[in-house]
Amino acid sequence: MTANSRSAGPVRTATLARLRLAAQGLLPSRSVGGELGRAATPLAAVRRMGALQSQDLQSGLLAVGLRTGRATASGVADALASGAVVRTWTMRGTLFTVAAEDVRTFVGLAAERVMHTAAPRHRELEIGEEDVAVVRRVAEDRLAGGKGLTRAELFEAFEAAGQPTAAQRGIHLLSILSHRLVLVQGPVRGKQQEFRLAEEWLPAGGGLSGDEALEHLAGRYIAGHGPVGERDFAWWLGQPLGRVRGPFAAAAARAERMDDGDAPLFCTAPVAALASGAAGARAVVAVPAFDELAIGYPDRSVAIPPEHLDRVIPGVNGVFKAMVTVGGRAVGTWTKGGTASAPRPVPELFEAFGPAAEVRLGAALGRIEAYWGS
């Protein structure tokens, strides 16, 4: 079985940007058709994306909400509280929001590499196996029976057991337990999430492994991020290119090939069908900090024009600001303004907008206000 080919040359950057906008579910169904558009539920949005980077909790929840029709902050929080979606450390040593049924698969693939990379820091922090055993017993004792504790509460329990948590030691202990599938993060309480025992919180079963896991996640990545290539997937998953090449090719064989160059790109058929038109070209979309639209690919120049890179990632230091985009490309940033009871997004544009674009900008920012307003 081979992928269908849609073009004979490389995809233009502007086309690539708007196709990814559609694949990520950031456009309304009326402009891209029923198979694309925003998802019906937060779980459906997360499943399509495969995973959404969520090291900042509120940004991660908003990223899910913007990909869900009529989403509210409480609705996305309910998806976490129900256990349908889970925020935990997965690939690249970073927190992601994933569907609960995919947690074991993601963590199983990532844990060994992430822990190997973190090992020197663990030695600096004097974290040994005996220390991990202590905090594991504490966590299992305190959380058994469906109980939940916030990070601060777990740190207090670790400290009482003689395990220091300062200087990031506590965070690394939580990361280790999460990579060993002892802990996951569940319901939001206040401004933090509660940690829960993975065996009690996750669906039963061991998840996928090996090439089966890689092919499954490659299919999710193509569907939720395409057009993408094998190098994009390897980077996103934090795995060597040689390890993912075969499984990615198997998933790509069921997708559409967008060019016949040296580095072919793949996406779903509904996304590929938009290539010849202009769907999404004028769409104004505001996304939160660390959004997958920019951070879900190793080449950031598609979503962030080089001339704006330092304004979206100041000092190119890995901190991504919330973006205003047109056609999937950054044209500004935004911050949270207003009051605690009536927050509103405040844009800072890099270029002047015409009247029609101003209307579309108002609608984009209005979606965020509606999400917060709940």
Q: What is the mean pLDDT of residues 74-99?
A: 96
Same domain, 323 and 244: no
Same domain, 143 and 155: yes
pLDDT at 71: 86
Same domain, 229 and 292: no
Same domain, 314 and 167: no
Q: What is the mean pLDDT of residues 249-275?
A: 92
Could you list the residue range(s) of the whole structural domain that residue 274 is in? 1-280
Q: What residues form DSSP beta bridges with 286?
A: 324
In angstroms, rounded to a whole number, what is the distance separating the alpha carbons of residues 271 and 147? 43
pLDDT tens digits, 90-134:
999 999 999 999 999 999 999 999 999 999 999 999 999 999 999
Same domain, 163 and 232: yes
In angstroms, rounded to a whole number, what is the distance separating the alpha carbons of residues 304 and 307? 8
| Number of domains comprising the chain | 2
Angle between helices 169-179 and 129-143 (to 10 degrees): 80
Nearest to 270 by CA among 24, 17, 9: 24
pLDDT tens digits, 139-177:
999 999 999 999 999 999 999 999 999 999 999 999 999
Same domain, 110 and 74: yes
User: Among 228, 246, 280, where does a domain finish?
Assistant: 280
Give the global pTM.
Answer: 0.94
Residue 117 amino acid letter: T
Could you tell me the two tokens for 121? Answer: 């820091």
User: Among 280, 296, 322, where does a domain finish?
Assistant: 280
Q: What is the mean pLDDT of residues 182-194?
A: 95
User: Among 237, 257, 280, where does a domain finish?
Assistant: 280
Q: Which long-range contacts (CB under 8 A, 24 or more apart) does 314-318 make?
A: none
SS3 (DSSP) at 284: strand
**Residue 42 scores a pLDDT above 70:** yes
Same domain, 273 and 305: no
Same domain, 194 and 206: yes
Question: Is the separation of the CB atoms in 169 and 127 below 8 Å?
Answer: yes
Same domain, 50 and 192: yes
Same domain, 69 and 148: yes
SS3 (DSSP) at 65: helix
Q: How sure is the predictor about 34, in pLDDT bands with cuts at 50, 70 and 90?
A: confident
**Residue 332 scores a pLDDT above 50:** yes
Same domain, 273 and 294: no
pLDDT tens digits, 12-27:
999 999 999 999 999 9
Question: Is the separation of the CB atoms in 15 and 216 below 8 Å?
Answer: no
Burial (CB count <10 Å: 0-12, 13-18, 19+), residue 129: exposed
Same domain, 274 and 301: no
